[in-house]
């Protein structure tokens, strides 16, 4: 993971069964006005024609390469890509989302002005899988409270604040020096967990009030699996309560978030409690059991 002679920006794209959509994502990257980038696509055990599509894509441009791995979920795929980055800045880009042609150029220009750890992010819009703009029936805010971003994200993520990963550009040092990674035991809310870790380091934060990214709403989206969202929220909050065990203010904020999650996802509670304990049992088993025994046990009775 050497940053000395690497590109300016490393773009990490986790990909699972996106053979029909990933061309749009990569084309938005190829249209960037900043051309000093590399793209690392992690094919996370796709079962469609994704691997062949990625071979075609990588053959077109030497800045693009892909890695095949057994399915580990979005967090496992992003972490694999983060292990490979060589750039000074990191763009996380899901395999069905797109960014405006000037996004990398504009955001790099901001981050270059500071030596401290920093994050820049922009506004976005929702699109359907054909690229048509979608107007949701709810309202939200994109701008994070710059005076206390950690507390704001911890309490208000997906309650008031909605920002997809494609909006952000990160200083690579979050991942190369501070070794921030996503929690691979969950398959939803990974961005919430990631941002809590990022903002715990008290970085500089810059907001661009311009739509430079599009979040695609596609069939089968994890964001529609409300029972899973609730379950993983509790897992993340419990983990961060341990990390902030000496910070009474953050503990209070996280407990308030837990109450909000219970309220916002109340209809998914029964039989949620059973699913929650099965999920926790699975996490414990993954840590304690040998891999082969864990996989056998999961197939037999652990489905959380």
Q: Do 73 and 207 sit in the same domain of this protein?
A: yes
Task: Please check whether residues 21 and 149 belong to one and the same domain.
Answer: yes
Residues 159 and 135 in one domain: yes
Q: How many Å apart are CA 241 and CA 246, to the nearest integer?
A: 9
* This prediction's pTM: 0.85
Is residue 246 a part of any domain in this protein? yes
- The whole-number average pLDDT for the span 285-290 is 83
* The domain boundary residue, chosen from 223, 253, 277: 223
Residue 292 lies in a domain: yes
Neighbours of 123 (CB within 10 A): 15
Q: Does residue 3 lie within any of the structural domains?
A: no
Band of pLDDT at residue 303, cut at 50, 70 and 90:
very low
Percent of the chain with pLDDT strictly greater than 70: 90
Instruction: Give me the number of domains the chain comprises.
Output: 2
Residues 66, 55: Cα–Cα separation, whole Å? 8
122 and 266 fall within a common domain: no
**Considering just the CA atoms, what is the radius of gyration of the chain in Å?**
19
CATH of the domain at 109: 3.90.550.10
Q: Is the pLDDT of residue 272 over 70?
A: no
Q: Are residues 19 and 37 in the same domain?
A: yes
* pLDDT bucket at 227, cuts 50 / 70 / 90: confident
Q: Which two tokens stand for residue 36?
A: 């000093």
Q: How many CB atoms lie within 10 A of CB 283?
A: 17
Q: Do 88 and 236 belong to one domain?
A: no
What ranges in the chain are assigned the alpha helix state H? 22-30, 50-60, 73-82, 103-111, 149-156, 173-176, 190-199, 226-243, 248-264, 272-288, 291-300
Domain span at 185:
9-223
Q: Residue 253: inside a domain, yes or no? A: yes
Query: In terms of domains, do 105 and 243 share one?
Result: no
270 and 122 together in one domain: no
Q: Domain boundary at 180, 200, 223, which?
A: 223
pLDDT for 282 beyond 60:
yes
In the chain, the percentage of residues whose pLDDT exceeds 90 is 72
262 pLDDT band, cuts 50/70/90, is confident
What are 101-158's pLDDT values in tens digits? 999 999 999 999 999 999 999 999 999 988 899 998 888 999 999 999 999 999 999 9
Q: Is residue 1 part of a domain?
A: no
Last residue of some domain: 223, 252, 283?
223
Q: Are residues 201 and 63 in the same domain?
A: yes
Q: Is residue 295 part of a domain?
A: yes
**Which has more pLDDT, 3 or 34?**
34
Task: Clarify whether residues 144 and 279 are in a common domain.
Answer: no
Chain segment 35-63, per-residue pLDDT in tens: 999 999 999 999 999 999 999 999 999 99
């Amino acid at each position: 993971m050497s940053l000395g002679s690497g590109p300016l920006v490393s773009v990490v794209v986790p990909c699972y069964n996106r053979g029909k959509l990933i061309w749009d994502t990569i084309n938005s990257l190829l249209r960037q006005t900043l051309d000093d980038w590399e793209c690392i696509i992690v094919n996370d055990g796709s079962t469609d024609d994704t691997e062949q599509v990625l071979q075609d894509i990588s053959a077109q441009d030497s800045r693009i390469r892909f890695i095949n791995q057994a399915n580990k979920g979005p967090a496992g795929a992003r972490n694999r890509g983060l292990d490979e980055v060589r750039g000074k800045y990191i763009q996380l880009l899901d395999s069905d989302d797109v960014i405006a042609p000037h996004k990398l150029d504009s955001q790099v220009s901001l981050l270059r002005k500071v030596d401290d750890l920093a994050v820049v992010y922009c506004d976005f819009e929702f699109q359907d899988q054909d690229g048509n703009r979608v107007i949701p029936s709810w309202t939200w805010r994109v701008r994070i409270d710059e005076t206390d971003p950690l507390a704001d994200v911890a309490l208000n993520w997906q309650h008031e604040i909605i920002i997809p990963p494609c909006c952000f550009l990160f200083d690579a040092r979050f991942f190369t020096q501070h070794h921030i990674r996503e929690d691979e035991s969950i398959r939803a809310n990974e961005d919430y967990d990631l941002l809590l870790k990022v903002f715990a380091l008290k970085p500089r934060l810059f907001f661009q009030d311009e739509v430079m990214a599009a979040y695609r709403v596609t069939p089968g989206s994890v964001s529609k699996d409300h029972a899973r969202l609730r379950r993983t929220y509790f897992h993340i909050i419990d983990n961060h309560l341990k990390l902030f065990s000496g910070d009474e203010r953050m503990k209070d904020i996280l407990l308030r978030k837990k109450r909000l999650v219970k309220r916002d996802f109340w209809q998914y509670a029964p039989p949620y409690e059973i699913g929650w304990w099965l999920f926790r049992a699975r996490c414990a088993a993954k840590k304690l059991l040998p891999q082969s025994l864990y996989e056998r046990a999961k197939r037999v009775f652990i489905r959380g």
